[in-house]
Amino acid sequence: MSSTSGFLGWTTLAILLGAAPAMAQRLGEKRTTETGHVVTVYSISWPTPISSVTADVEVCAGPGAPSSSFAFPSFFQLHFADGGVIASYGSKKQPTLEKTPLKPNQCVRGWLDFAVTSGQKPVAIRYHEVGQDKKPIEWPVPK
């Protein structure tokens, strides 16, 4: 094996190991964010290719949360196979997750709807903040 091919092999391996994709969470699995909040998606529904994606989500402030802590619906975003990203538009189900100030250890839970148009393929709901492990926090949309 030449030194060039050995270098390319190790370089390729290093790139592959360094480019680890986000680990998808299981529904109901609580994830702690880098700032200590805990986020959970309990269910995701996408009944037809032209219906909205609906999710039951929860945000909890950590024990040391500052007084400026909020749960924001826009912190959950729907990602599409083509790279597109959208925020929710509220929800037809109640309670809808609303912008909510959070005190330490306080939680808020609610529904979010994401509009899907014909031809779009939703793949995941991602929270805007990374986990304590520095990896994105996301849940796959069932097919």
Predicted confidence band at 3 (pLDDT cuts at 50, 70, 90)?
Answer: very low
**5 part of a folded domain:** no
Element of type H or E holding 16? helix 3-18
- Of 7-16, 55-64, 77-86, give the lowest mean pLDDT range: 7-16
**16 part of a folded domain:** no
Q: Please tell me the distance from the alpha carbon of residue 77 to that of residue 88, in angstroms, as a whole number.
A: 7
pLDDT at position 52: 95
Percent of the chain with pLDDT over 90: 73
Q: What's the rounded mean pLDDT across residues 43-52? A: 94
CA 91 to chain centre: 17
Domain that residue 78 falls in: 25-140
pLDDT at position 22: 53
**19 part of a folded domain:** no
**3 part of a folded domain:** no
The answer to whether 97 and 108 are in contact (CB under 8 A) is yes
Number of domains making up the chain: 1
**136 part of a folded domain:** yes
**79 part of a folded domain:** yes
**9 part of a folded domain:** no
Query: What's the CATH code of the domain at 84?
Result: 2.60.40.1240
pLDDT at position 23: 60
